[in-house]
Chain A
Amino acid sequence: MMEDSDAALVTRARAGDQDAFRVLVERHSVKLFQLAYRMTGNEQDTEDIVQETFLRAHKQLNRFESRAGFGTWLHRIAANCSLDLLRQRQRRRGQDGAAEVESTEAIPLIPSPAPAPDQAVYHAELRQKVESAMEELTPMERTAFVLRHFEGRSIDEIGGVLGVGPSATKQSVFRAVQKMRRALEPVLNPAP
């Protein structure tokens, strides 16, 4: 049996068909989870963002313009929710600087690429290093980077989420990559 398109389901959901909205939720949940997790790096926050995204989408369904693509629209809402959360988190960090120092210092440094038996350990540590480098990005940089690198969104789309123009958006992507590079290059390309 052929699946209903998103556009058809949105039309039905707008007319009050809750089952149509259920199908949309079930169809897009996993992708939204991946986006929100990459933006927040925290599983519980991600679950909250997925819920919040669908609630906002349901409330604003009449404002959705079908030419944008429902998935794209949802991802934009999720990115906005995540950006809000990152900003709140940063404000909290600013108020509690001491706790932050402790948590950052607890992250171990990664040794240079290890021989085969230690590959699993090396990869686990590399992942941890990537996560901590992502944590170092500002909310705007992280949003711009995730949307460009993992989601492949255009500069205009990202600018729409961040509320800035193309030049500032490109700058955010660039600065994020630059910071990631500074954090990871010593590990990946150790000096001889």
Chain B
Amino acid sequence: MNHLNEEQLVLYHYGEAQDRAGVAEHIQSCDSCRANYQALQRVLSAVDAMPVPERTENYGPEVWRQLRSQLIRAPMPRRREFGELFRWPRWAWAGAFALLVAGAFLAGRFWPQPPAEAAFVAARPARPLSESARERVRLMEIGDHLERSQLALLELINSRTNGAVDISVEQVLARELVAINHLFRRAATDAGEPGMASVLEELELVLVEVANGPAKLTSEDFAALRQRIDTDGLLFKVKVVSAQVRAKEQDAARELAAKRS
């Protein structure tokens, strides 16, 4: 096993590592990783020392005392009883029933009937990884990538500026994202998805700029980078494409479930 990176150690510490037993074994046997893990534990123990002001047992009643007057001004919305939902006037019931009958008739008349062959295909057991399953996996991966990129951009533009801005942490992430982004962009171009390819291309340019630029930016350089992300609406575009991909993925999941059932 290779040395564990910082991310693996953090995930292991919080019980989120994928191969927990393997990581534990490696920490036991590798002096360097054990020392690294112990240093991480020391930092996190120091964080536990962060004080929280004491609150006595009277705190709850005090909160209630302040809250009470506000609750009187804004009473809780009353819950509708189950029976109330059915208290329609008679004419509404009659209308609803007529609509239901008409709808059922029209649905039977015009609903497309599946051809016999399609019904046969649907009845066969699913293959290990069908075209639609592969498509769903692809969409999930792109969705994850876009979400991570969106987060990276958000974190970047929200970085604190104290004269100079240290973006070394963002750079590490940007380097990872560039490589993945490149693959997805090419795949989108090959698959004839110009909208997606275009957004991925814009994203890649910014990621490359962050990844290859200096780790410490002057406040002017940082403002220019932030403005570029804002002006081009890149964050918004990534958000929109990400939402579209998630929606497609859900459609694909529903389609798969329907096929299986």
* Chain A residues with a Cβ under 8 A of chain B: 13-14, 16, 18, 21-22, 25-30, 33-34, 37-38, 43, 50-51, 54-55, 58-59, 61-62, 90, 93, 97, 100-101, 104-105, 123, 126-127, 130-131, 134, 136, 138-141, 148-149, 155, 164-165, 167-168, 170-175, 177-182, 184-185, 188-189
Instruction: Name the distance in Å between A2's Cβ and chain B's nearest Cβ.
Output: 19
Residues of chain B with a CB closer than 8 A to A171's CB: 148, 151, 173
Q: Are B50 and A164 in contact (CB under 8 A)?
A: no
Bound-complex Cα distance A87 to B47 (A)? 22
Residues of chain B with a CB closer than 8 A to A22's CB: 64, 68
Known: A16-B76, A170-B11, A170-B16. 7 other contacts (CB 8 A): A25-B63, A33-B52, A33-B55, A38-B50, A100-B162, A127-B51, A155-B16
Bound-complex Cα distance A126 to B43 (A)? 11
Residues of chain B with a CB closer than 8 A to A126's CB: 46, 49
Q: Are B161 and A97 in contact (CB under 8 A)?
A: yes
Q: Are B77 and A62 in contact (CB under 8 A)?
A: yes
Interface size class of B (residues with CB under 8 A): 35 or more
Bound-complex Cα distance A189 to B60 (A)? 41
* Given A38-B50, A104-B162, A168-B148: A149 touches B44 (CB 8 Å cut-off): yes
Residues of chain B with a CB closer than 8 A to A174's CB: 6-7, 10-11
Q: Are B159 and A25 in contact (CB under 8 A)?
A: no
Q: Are B60 and A30 in contact (CB under 8 A)?
A: yes
The chain B residue sitting closest to A131, CB to CB, is B50
Contact of A173 among B10, B50, B66 (CB under 8 A): B10
Bound-complex Cα distance A146 to B46 (A)? 14
Provide 23 A-B residue pairs closer than 8 Å at the C-beta atoms, listed in order of the A residue: A13-B76, A14-B79, A16-B78, A25-B64, A27-B60, A29-B55, A29-B64, A38-B50, A54-B63, A55-B70, A97-B219, A123-B49, A126-B46, A127-B51, A138-B159, A149-B47, A164-B147, A165-B144, A170-B11, A171-B173, A180-B44, A181-B43, A185-B43
Q: Are A140 and B43 in contact (CB under 8 A)?
A: no
* Given A25-B63, A138-B155: A62 touches B79 (CB 8 Å cut-off): yes
Q: Are A54 and B67 in contact (CB under 8 A)?
A: yes
**B92 in the interface (beta carbon within 8 A):** no
Q: Are B42 and A188 in contact (CB under 8 A)?
A: yes
Most buried by A among B42, B66, B67, B154: B67
